[in-house]
Chain A
Amino acid sequence: MAANPTGVGGHENGWAKTFRTDNWWVGPAVTFAGLSAWLLYYFWAAWTDANYAAGPYMSPFYPFYLHHAPEGGHAAFFGMLPGWWPALISPALVAGFAPGAFRITCYYYRKAYYRAFFGTPPGCAVGARPQDYRGETFLLVFQNLHRYALYGALLLLPYLYYEAAMGFFHEGEFGVGLGSIIMVMNCVFLSFYTLGCHAWRHLVGGQLNCFSCGAVPRLRYGAWQGVTKLNENHMRWAWTSLIWIAFTDLYIRLVAMGVITDPNTWGGF
């Protein structure tokens, strides 16, 4: 039963009802537009299954371990996908499963999409969508496995660094291009986001109650402090890494398509 009969206190009940006079809707609207645009671009880029490699550069949407080797590029780590594999599920979609699960269950993105997409609630002191609310105890109980999605994302990071390192070697010759730098920055932003994860913060030390009880807890305390620093800016790194990974794909795609020319020390590809 509600705390007050209808009308008492002057409050209104119902979807998006509020007395707020500020632009509370801007945040969820920008989030909705930003995430929707990103998803549209990602699915388009993943389904095209083309123009993901240029010279030594590989799109981060198409990790090297699960695709056919691009001409002049490094070989696929696990070889090609089998012939019976449905074309609709491109290598990029397969590769996107672990990072996708990591972001979907991320404590920051949960706030973002619960507000922007599901309206539970759309804003603070703004009426939530009426429903038999069960939080994360029923259908959304899978959110509790965020740490497993983290493990997948952590495994992918070295691959992305490897790809970024390979971006400095074109046909065996060391060099530097704008694409190499963009790929390295992509790895750095993704590292800041992944290593600032709340579940990671818990696992490295947050689960302890006594940081001073021995050498290992003290080491974990140091790690926890470091992760806490990144965690304080988790939203910033979530967005920066999300935008940059798409930008990296777009840059390599445009170079591959010949729309732009990558400035580099190799004198072109």
Chain B
Amino acid sequence: MPNRTIRVWRGNQEGGKFEEYTVEVGEGVVVLDVIHLAQAEHANDLAVRWNCKAGKCGSCSMEINGKPKLGCMTRVSDYGPDEVITVQPMKTFPVIKDLVTDVSWNYRQNERIKPFTPRPRDADGQWRMTTEDVERVQEFRKCIECFLCQNTCHVLRDHDKRDQFVGPRFMIRLAQLDMHPLDVEDRIPAAKEEYGTGYCNITRCCTEVCPEHINITDNGIIPMKERVVDRYYDPIAMIARKLFGGK
């Protein structure tokens, strides 16, 4: 079996360095497999978060040759046979140890968003929704919370605007709630003032790295930005609301 060399950043908040490990790999292995082999054969204390190995738990987010990816969904054969694969923890979140980062900031953003608030049930005690009304928000439910989009978003990654912008993952959470046919909560003022729709400049990196191929930008963030425009920037829409009512 051929050898593969992997270069892994090892360390914690105090500092660290890249270390190289060479392991024998079989066919069809993914980067997470190589990390596990390195862990088993060379570095028992190498820290990596993982769980399902099927691209559904969102645990093994990391940066592989500089690109935010899931370790379990990135084939080693995607790289040249002699290419050293460099693996780093996600840049946007504090490193705990080696490849493991503290992503708890994301959970705090989720807590800030007003939860699902359905209208009262129909007279017969049911809630009814038609397929066309709910199919749009189903896409957002595919999110596995790997936070690769949050990691890649330059507003958080490079400009560190955590206090102003909740990030793409929570923009689609907002969109999922705001577009829901049963939900009656008005989140648009908070979307503009607290969650920072205006901070996204549509450079689409969140969409490019999403392992679930959710069209975060076109179907989530831009529609939310347009809803904010309806409320705050479009004079015709504002006059129409004054005349005919509505939010």
The interface size of chain A toward B, counting residues with CB under 8 Å, comes to 54
B91 and A11 contact, CB distance less than 8 A: yes
Contact among B93, B201, B226 with A199 in the assembled complex (CB-CB below 8 Å): B226
In the assembled complex, A2 has its CB within 8 A of some CB on chain B: yes
Within 8 Å by CB of B65, from A1, A3, A21, lies A21
Q: Is the CB of A198 within 8 A of B218?
A: yes
A199 and B218 CA atoms in complex are apart in Å by 11
B202 touches A21 (CB 8 A): no
* Chain A contacts with B in 70-107, Cβ cutoff 8 A: 107
Q: Given A110-B201, A111-B204, A137-B199, answer yes or no on A125-B9 (Cβ-Cβ < 8 Å).
A: no
**A198: nearest residue on chain B (CB-CB)?**
B222
Contact of A3 (CB < 8 Å), options: B68, B86, B91, B233:
B91
Write the B130-166 contact mask toward A (1 if CB under 8 angstroms, else 0): 1011000000000000000000101101111100010
Task: Determine, out of B10-18, B20-28, B52-60, the stretch whose residues face the partner at the interface.
Answer: B10-18
A206 and B132 CA atoms in complex are apart in Å by: 12
Q: Are A136 and B93 in contact (CB under 8 A)?
A: no
Chain A contacts for B133, CB-based, 8 A? 209-212
Task: List the A side residues contacting B13 at CB < 8 Å.
Answer: 4-5, 8
Query: Within 8 Å of chain B (Cβ to Cβ): is A202?
Result: yes
A1 to B93 CA separation, bound complex (whole angstroms): 11
Please give, as numbers and ranges, the residues of chain A lying within 8 Å of B218 by CB-CB distance: 107, 198, 231-232, 234
Given A128-B154, A135-B198, A212-B133, A19:B86 Cβ within 8 A:
yes
Among A125, A133, A140, which residue has its beta carbon within 8 angstroms of that of B66? Answer: A125
User: Interface stretch among A54-62, A113-121, A167-175?
Assistant: A113-121
Query: Is B48 at the interface (CB under 8 A from chain A)?
Result: no
Given A121-B158, A137-B199, A198-B218: A10 in contact with B67 (beta carbons within 8 A): no
Q: Are B132 and A115 in contact (CB under 8 A)?
A: no
Say if the beta carbon of B35 comes within 8 Å of chain A: no
Check B158–A10 contact: CB distance below 8 A: no
Complex partner residue of B234 from A11, A107, A147, A210, CB under 8 angstroms: A147
Which of A9, A22, A133, A210 sits near B88, CB closer than 8 Å? A9
- With beta carbons under 8 angstroms apart, the residue of B65, B95, B222 that contacts A19 is B65
Give chain A residues whose Cβ lies under 8 Å from the Cβ of B83: 21
Q: A8-B15, A9-B91, A209-B179 are in contact. Are A110 and B202 (CB under 8 A)?
A: yes
List, in ascending order, chain B residues with CB within 8 A of A114's CB. 201-203
Cα–Cα distance between A262 and B207 once the two chains are bound (Å): 45
Contact with B along A193-214 (1 / 0, CB 8 A): 0000011001000110111100
Name A128's closest neighbour in chain B (CB-CB).
Answer: B158
Which A residues are in CB contact (< 8 Å) with B230? 202, 207
A260 at the interface (CB under 8 A from B): no
Please give me the residue from chain B that is nearest to A133 by CB atom: B159
Residue pair B91, A135 in contact (C-beta under 8 Å) = no
Q: Are A124 and B152 in contact (CB under 8 A)?
A: yes
Q: Are B226 and A198 in contact (CB under 8 A)?
A: yes
- Tell me whether A212 and B130 are in contact in the complex, defined as CB-CB below 8 angstroms, given that A145-B233, A206-B226 are known contacts: yes
Q: How far is the CB of B120 from chain A (nearest CB, A)?
A: 15
Q: Is A144 an interface residue (CB 8 A)?
A: yes
A232-B155 Cα distance, complex, nearest whole Å: 25
Chain A residues with CB below 8 A from B67, complex form: 20, 22, 124-125
Chain A CB within 8 A of B33 CB: no
By beta carbon, the residue of chain A nearest B200 is A135
Say yes or no for A51: interface residue by CB 8 A criterion: no
| Interface, chain B (partner A; CB < 8 A) | 9, 11-13, 15-18, 63, 65-68, 83, 86, 88-95, 130, 132-133, 152, 154-155, 157-161, 165, 178-181, 183, 196, 198-205, 208-209, 218, 222-223, 225-230, 232-234
Q: Which 8 pairs show the lowest CB-CB distances between chains A and B?
A: A19-B66, A20-B66, A124-B205, A137-B198, A135-B199, A202-B226, A10-B9, A128-B158
Contact sample, A vs B, 15 pairs, CB 8 Å cutoff: A3-B91, A4-B95, A9-B89, A21-B83, A107-B222, A110-B202, A125-B66, A128-B157, A135-B155, A135-B196, A135-B201, A136-B201, A137-B196, A144-B228, A144-B233
